[in-house]
Amino acid sequence: MGEVVVPLTGIAVLSGFWAKTLVDFALAYAFGIAFQYFTIVPLRHLSFAQGIAAAVRADTISISLFEAGMVAWMAFLHFGLGMHMTASESVFWFMMQIAMIAGSMASYPANVWLIRKGWKEAMM
């Protein structure tokens, strides 16, 4: 969503790449916490405040690592290889698929740890 929101609103922090990265992270974090909230609350019968706290605890590390893996790949393409892609290009979306694999690999150990610790629910 950030890939579309930033150009439409003209948000600019440092450069277009970093503005999109910050918006993407904020949106991923907000949606991740919301999804985690609606998973944890019914399973644990928590209040609203307890549910928010549990969701933040369960997803902050994993979302941050997932986004770090994605950003590392996309930054390598953008700055290292000079691939200044936009969301209107199919190559951008192909590279985003690779970025999501990188993000999954980066966050996997943390997710295993969070599940073992009981902070995150295992999804089967």
What is the pTM for the complete model shown?
0.83
pLDDT for 121 equals: 79
pLDDT in tens, 43-95: 999 999 999 999 999 999 999 999 999 999 999 999 999 999 888 899 999 99
Cα 7 to Cα 2, 55, 78, 86, distances in angstroms:
9, 30, 17, 10
pLDDT for 6 equals: 64
pLDDT at 122 over 90: no
Q: Is residue 58 within 8 Å of 36, Cβ to Cβ?
A: yes
